[in-house]
C-alpha cells in the first residue's frame, strides 16, 4: 500500500485546508463555554447557585448544540473535503478564490451565531438537530455558514473531477465524497421543507419540521465522515485498512441508497404529518446501521489482531470512538418516551464523531509543518473526554429510566427521588469531565496550530492510494 508524502499537498490547497481546521477548532472553544453553562444548569445544588436566568440557559443550549454538532462537524468535514481531494489525489484545489470565499463565509456565519448566543439576542427555539435563536442575526449566521459549506463542496467536487488522477480513487476520498453528497442532500431537504411550509401560506416557519428531515440526513454524512477517519487512523496505526477498498466503497454506496431518494418524502408527505417524521426516522434506523456495523467489526478485528499502543492518540481515539459509538447504539435500543435516554443516546453518537476527529487532528498536524504542543496532553486527552461522555450518558440513561424529562433544567427537572438526584449528579460530573477533556484538546490544538512552523517531513505518509 503506497503512501502520499507531505510534499503532495500543494501550498494554496494546504492554506485553505488549514483555514477550515482553524475554524473547526474555534467552534469548539465557544461550544465548550456554552456546554459548561448547560451542564452546571442541570447539576443538583450547583444549578441553584448560578446567577444566570433560566431563559439564558436555553440560549446557551442553542449555542452549544449549533457550534458542537453542526458547525464543528461541518467545518472539520470542510477540511477533510479539501484534504481528500487535493493532497490524497495529488491535485491543486480547483478554484483558490472559491476556496477562500467558502472559508470566509462560514467564518462570518459562525461569528454571528456566537454573537447571537453570547448576547442572548433572541429567544431559544429548541428544535431537534438545529435549534435556533429567534433573531435575524442568528438566521443570517446560519445562512452564511451554510453558503460557505456549499461553495466548499462545489469546489471540492470540481477538484475531484477535474484533470486526471493517478491510480484508483482513495477510499478516504470516496468516503468523503459520499459524505459531501449527504450534506448536499440534507441542505436540499432543508430548502424543500422551507418551501413547502411557505407555499401553504404559513406566516412562520416551524423549525422542528424545517430541520427534521435534513437533520437526519446530516447524521448519515457525519457518520460517513467518522468512518473515513476510522479508516485513516487504522491505516496510520496498523499500516493497512480494515477492509478491501472495493468492499469499503460498496458499503459507502449502501449509505447513498438511503440518502439520495430522501427528498422524495417531501412530495409524499406534508411536513406537518407524523408520516413525514417517521419516514426520516425509518431511513436513519435502517440506513446507518448495516454499513456502520460492518465497518465497526472490521476495525475491531484489526485492532485485536494488531499492536495496541495505548499512549498513541491515533490508536486510543480509534478504539474509544468505536466503543462509544457502539454504546450509543445500544442505548438507542432502550429509548422509550420523551426522557433523558434520548440525549444519552445522541451524546454518545456525536461524542464518538468528535473523538475520531480529535484523534485525526493530532496526526494531521505534520501536513502543515506543525507539531503537537504537548504529546503527553494529547495522550491523556482522548481518555479524559471519553470518560466524561460515558459518565454523562450513563447519568442521563439512569435518570431517563426514572422519568426525568429531556430539555428541562433547574427546578423543572423535578429531582424528587434519590435515584434521580444521583443520576443527574453523575451526569453533571461527566459533563464537567468531558468539558475538561474538551478544554485540554482546544488548548493543545490552539498552541499547536499557532505555534512554531517546522519543515514538513517528507517521510510521513498521509494517505492510502487505494
3-state helix, strand, coil split of the chain in percent (to 5) is: 75, 0, 25
Per-residue pLDDT tens for 2-43?
333 444 678 899 999 999 999 999 999 999 888 887 777 666
Q: Please give the Cα distance from 285 to 256 (Å, whole number).
A: 14
Question: What would the mean pLDDT of 338-350 be, rounded to a whole number?
Answer: 88
pLDDT reported for residue 466: 44
| CA 32 remoteness from chain centre | 14
Q: For residue 463, what pLDDT is reported?
A: 44
Mean pLDDT on 302-322:
93
Indicate whether 202 pLDDT > 80: no
Query: How many Å apart are CA 421 and CA 43, to the nearest integer?
Result: 9
Residues 6+ apart with CB under 8 A from 314: 233, 236, 237, 359, 360, 362, 363
Q: What would the mean pLDDT of 145-172 be, rounded to a whole number? A: 91
Please state, in angstroms and rounded to a whole number, the distance separating the CA atoms of residues 448 and 442.
10
Cell of 52: 444566570
Among 1-5, 81-85, 392-396, the least confident range: 1-5
pLDDT for residue 334 = 74
Q: Is the pLDDT of residue 394 over 60?
A: yes
pLDDT 10s digits, 440-463: 999 999 999 998 766 554 334 454
**How much of the chain, in percent, has pLDDT values that exceed 90?**
69
Q: Can you tell me the distance from the alpha carbon of 455 to that of 262, in angstroms, rounded to the nearest whole number? A: 46
Of 111 and 7, the one with more pLDDT: 111
Lowest-confidence segment of 197-211, 302-316, 377-391 by average pLDDT: 197-211
Per-residue confidence (pLDDT) for residue 40, from 0 to 100: 72
* Grid coordinates given for 422: 444521583
Whole-number average pLDDT of the chain? 89
Specify the pLDDT at position 45. 60
Q: Is the pLDDT of residue 205 over 90?
A: no
C-alpha cell at 264: 422524495
Give the side-chain half-sphere CA count within 13 A for 11: 1
Cell numbers 496532553 correspond to: 377
CB atoms < 10 A from the CB of 12, how many? Answer: 14
C-alpha distances in Å from residue 190, one per residue of 146, 183, 205, 417, 441: 11, 11, 11, 41, 32
Backbone φ and ψ for 157, nearest 5 degrees, come out as: -70, -35
Burial of 337-352, coded b for 16+ CB within 10 Å and e otherwise, reads eebbbbbbbbbbbbbb
* CA pair distance 299, 297, nearest whole angstrom: 5
**For residue 134, what pLDDT is reported?**
95
Please give the pLDDT value at position 419: 84
What three-state secondary structure class fits 244? coil
The domain segmentation of the chain, as residue ranges, is 311-453
pLDDT of residue 153 exceeding 60, the answer is yes
More confident of the two residues 45 and 117: 117
- The mean pLDDT of 164-183, rounded to a whole number, is 90
pLDDT at 340: 84
What is the rounded distance in angstroms from the CA atom of residue 229 to the CA atom of residue 219? Answer: 15
Average pLDDT over residues 180-198: 96
Give the integer Cα–Cα distance in Å for 374 and 371. Answer: 9
Tens digit of each residue's pLDDT (9 = 90 or more) over 47-75: 555 555 567 888 888 999 999 999 999 99
Quick check: 409 and 42 in contact, CB under 8 A?
Answer: yes
Question: Is pLDDT of 237 > 80?
Answer: yes
Strand partners for 133? 124
Q: 238 near 306, Cβ under 8 Å?
A: yes
Q: What is the pLDDT of residue 407?
A: 62
| Lowest-confidence segment of 25-34, 162-171, 269-278, 280-289 by average pLDDT | 162-171
Query: What CA–CA distance (Å, rounded) separates 86 from 94?
Result: 9
Confidence of residue 199 (pLDDT cuts 50, 70, 90): confident
Confidence (pLDDT) at 266: 96
Sign of CA dihedral 73, 79, 80, 82: positive
pLDDT tier for residue 311 given thresholds of 50, 70 and 90? very high
Distance (Å) of CA 352 to CA 89, 145, 216 = 27, 24, 17
Strand partners, 461: 5
Examine the pLDDT at 257 and tell me if it is beyond 70: yes
Taking alpha carbons only, the member of 357, 360, 367 closest to residue 312 is 360
Amino acid at each position: 500500500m503506497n503512501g502520499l508524502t507531505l510534499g503532495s499537498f500543494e501550498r494554496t490547497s494546504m492554506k485553505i485546508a488549514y483555514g477550515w481546521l482553524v475554524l473547526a477548532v474555534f467552534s469548539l472553544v465557544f461550544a465548550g463555554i456554552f456546554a459548561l453553562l448547560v451542564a452546571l444548569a442541570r447539576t443538583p445544588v450547583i444549578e441553584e447557585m448560578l446567577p444566570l436566568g433560566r431563559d439564558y440557559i436555553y440560549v446557551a443550549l442553542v449555542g452549544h448544540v449549533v457550534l458542537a454538532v453542526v458547525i464543528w462537524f461541518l467545518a472539520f468535514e470542510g477540511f477533510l473535503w479539501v484534504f481528500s481531494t487535493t493532497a490524497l489525489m495529488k491535485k491543486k484545489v480547483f478554484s483558490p478564490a472559491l476556496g477562500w470565499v467558502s472559508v470566509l463565509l462560514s467564518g462570518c456565519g459562525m461569528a454571528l451565531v456566537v454573537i447571537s448566543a453570547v448576547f442572548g439576542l433572541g429567544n431559544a427555539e429548541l428544535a431537534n438537530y438545529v435549534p435556533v435563536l429567534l433573531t435575524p442575526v442568528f438566521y443570517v449566521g446560519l445562512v452564511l455558514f451554510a453558503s460557505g459549506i456549499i461553495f466548499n463542496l462545489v469546489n471540492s467536487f470540481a477538484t475531484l473531477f477535474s484533470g486526471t488522477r493517478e491510480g484508483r480513487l482513495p477510499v478516504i476520498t470516496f468516503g468523503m465524497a459520499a459524505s459531501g453528497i449527504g450534506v448536499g442532500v440534507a441542505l436540499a431537504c432543508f430548502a424543500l421543507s422551507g418551501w413547502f411550509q411557505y407555499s401553504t401560506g404559513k406566516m412562520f416557519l416551524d423549525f422542528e419540521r424545517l430541520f427534521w428531515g435534513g437533520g437526519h440526513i446530516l447524521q448519515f454524512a457525519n457518520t460517513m465522515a467518522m468512518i473515513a477517519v476510522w479508516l485513516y487512523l487504522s491505516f496510520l496505526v496498523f499500516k493497512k485498512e480494515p477492509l478491501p477498498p472495493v468492499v469499503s466503497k460498496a458499503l459507502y454506496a449502501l449509505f447513498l441508497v438511503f440518502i439520495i431518494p430522501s427528498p422524495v418524502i417531501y412530495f409524499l408527505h406534508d411536513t406537518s404529518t407524523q408520516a413525514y417524521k417517521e419516514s426520516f426516522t425509518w431511513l436513519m434506523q435502517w440506513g446507518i446501521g448495516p454499513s456502520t456495523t460492518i465497518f465497526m467489526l472490521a476495525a475491531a478485528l484489526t485492532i485485536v489482531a494488531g499492536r495496541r499502543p495505548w499512549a498513541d492518540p491515533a490508536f486510543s481515539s480509534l478504539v474509544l470512538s468505536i466503543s462509544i459509538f457502539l454504546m450509543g447504539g445500544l442505548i438507542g435500543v432502550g429509548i422509550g418516551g420523551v426522557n433523558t435516554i434520548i440525549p444519552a443516546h445522541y451524546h454518545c453518537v456525536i461524542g464518538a464523531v468528535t473523538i475520531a476527529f480529535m484523534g485525526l487532528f493530532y496526526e494531521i498536524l505534520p501536513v502543515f509543518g506543525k507539531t503537537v504542543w504537548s504529546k503527553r496532553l494529547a495522550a491523556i486527552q482522548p481518555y479524559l473526554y471519553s470518560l466524561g461522555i460515558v459518565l454523562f450518558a450513563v447519568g442521563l440513561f439512569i435518570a431517563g429510566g426514572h422519568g426525568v424529562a429531556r430539555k428541562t433544567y433547574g427546578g423543572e427537572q423535578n429531582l424528587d427521588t434519590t435515584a434521580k438526584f444521583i443520576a443527574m449528579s453523575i451526569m453533571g460530573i461527566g459533563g464537567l469531565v468531558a468539558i475538561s477533556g474538551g478544554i485540554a484538546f482546544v488548548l493543545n490544538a490552539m498552541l499547536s496550530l499557532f505555534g512554531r512552523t517546522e519543515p514538513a517531513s517528507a517521510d510521513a505518509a498521509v494517505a492510502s492510494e487505494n
